[in-house]
Amino acid sequence: MIDFHCHLDLMDNPTTVVKELEEACAYVLSVTTIPKAFPKTSRLAAKGGRIRTALGYHPQLVGERPNELSIFEKLLPETRYVGEVGLDGGKDFANSKEGQVKVFKTILKLCASNGSKIISIHSRHAASAVLDMINQYPKCGVPVLHWFTGTQDELNRAIQMGCWFSIGAPMLRSKKGKEALSLIPKDRILTETDAPFASTNIQTSLVTATKGLAKIWNLDQAEVDSQLKTNLAVLVA
């Protein structure tokens, strides 16, 4: 199983969760929400194992923590994975709009000059703005849009731009999410949980997600697992 976007450091009992995921041979992208959290979070998992840690700077936290770009820049050479980063266009975060743009822009620029990264991106209520910014930095690496909720036009644009998508159980519950999933090429999709926010049990949530994909793709569970595993191998190759 694959969880390409979860917050292991924010789980109630990170050490236990990591142990269970390692025993289940799960492939995990453990994202962080502030640059400062990266060193400790990356130490949760064994080096070179199936759990990789991404360096993040969550757009919802930029307002209260505007000055961590220098830490981000310092840590970036330590990992190939970046996230959670992006923009949040929600009303609650309107005050930090300028700061969010500045931070995300700088991050994309740094990714481009650091040899390109795999980037887990938040784009809630800001899909077009996020795509515009990715467009400005074509060498930033591979954008993986996490829990994408943009319009169909925005989705088509993202697909054309070569973006990947990490999708979870909540997306498979909504009609809009299911429609979106039927439009995304099978070879650009990975599963995610966004735990502990969207779910508290990672493994159960991943089973729900792959079951939902099996229905949409008209494949059996094993075929879905194999498709997802191939996708991950292609992405990180």
Which residues contact Mn ion (rule: CB under 5 A)?
84, 194
Look at the alpha carbons of 126, 52, 29, 191 in this order and tell me if their dihedral is positive or negative.
positive
Nearest alpha-carbon partner for 95 in 129, 124, 60: 60
Residue 9, CA atoms < 13 Å, CB-side half-sphere: 22
Residues β-bridged to residue 52: 29
> Minimum distance between the CB of residue 48 and Mn ion, rounded to whole angstroms?
24
> Minimum distance between the CB of residue 197 and Mn ion, rounded to whole angstroms?
6
Cα distance between the two ends of the chain:
18
In whole angstroms, how far apart are CA 220 and each of 96, 169, 179, 225, 229? 45, 17, 20, 9, 14
> Minimum distance between the CB of residue 237 and Mn ion, rounded to whole angstroms?
25
Decide whether 31 or 158 has the Cβ nearer to Mn ion. Answer: 31
Decide whether 3 or 84 has the Cβ nearer to Mn ion. Answer: 84
Decide whether 171 or 225 has the Cβ nearer to Mn ion. Answer: 171
Provide CB contacts within 8 A for 119, sequence distance 6+.
Answer: 81, 82, 83, 85, 108, 111, 140, 141, 142, 143, 144
Cβ neighbours, 10 Å, residue 66: 14
> Minimum distance between the CB of residue 5 and Mn ion, rounded to whole angstroms?
6
Decide whether 84 or 154 has the Cβ nearer to Mn ion. Answer: 84
Decide whether 12 or 23 has the Cβ nearer to Mn ion. Answer: 12
Decide whether 84 or 88 has the Cβ nearer to Mn ion. Answer: 84
> Minimum distance between the CB of residue 61 and Mn ion, rounded to whole angstroms?
11
Question: Closest-CB residue for Mn ion?
Answer: 194
> Minimum distance between the CB of residue 194 and Mn ion, rounded to whole angstroms?
5
Tokens of 97: 């709009």
